[in-house]
Structure 1
């Protein structure tokens, strides 16, 4: 497996990856997804055999106080291979100087376990008082 920030996949590879995990809200509007990637602050990719895209992580940040991890996805056939862990670690390393690292995700036990293993806490579980997260989804 290769992790890269410079080896950018084709738009078709990106769409196929999002399709593989069922994220149709992105693939139904491929031009919007392309714009989202173009406007992101940090993208990192995971490849198998030097050419097959198996995962990516996308972050948005002011590079001063906060990083928002918007997307982290791994092709179902490559899950549990360490790809997600390496992608997550690459984003954390890039933004390790920031005070806030934020992620919003589905309410699935496996995801909670993964993010907790990576050092994140759910807002209601913070030791120094809970954190409220407000969001709007259309």
Structure 2
């Protein structure tokens, strides 16, 4: 059965899904600090997510001016 990956822009997933993704990927982030993870994403101005059906399988968090520079902060 085919399960394509779909991408979304600035459609923030539940914080629990972000924490689960970080924990499963091995990326070193403060996943025991729910509030901090929530604010990290609330204050980012570009978030791209990858979904397989309803499961979050990838995320990129960036800060950008949308015309010249983009700083990728997290990629999982």
Whose RCO is larger (CA < 8 A, sep 6+)? Answer: 2
Give 5+ residue unaligned stretches, structure 1.
Answer: 74-138
Structure whose CA Rg is larger: 1
Aligned length in residues? 72
SS of match in other structure, 1:53: strand
Give 5+ residue unaligned stretches, structure 2.
Answer: none
Quote how far apart the aligned CAs of 1:31 are.
1.0
TM-score, structure 1 length as denominator? 0.47
Corresponding residue number in structure 1 for 2:60: 57
Corresponding residue number in structure 2 for 1:72: 75
**Distance across 2 between alignment mates of 1:72 and 1:9:** 15
**Distance across 1 between alignment mates of 2:61 and 2:26:** 17
The CA RMSD measured in Å over matched residues stands at 1.6
Q: Which structure has greater strand proportion?
A: 2
Corresponding residue number in structure 2 for 1:4: 8
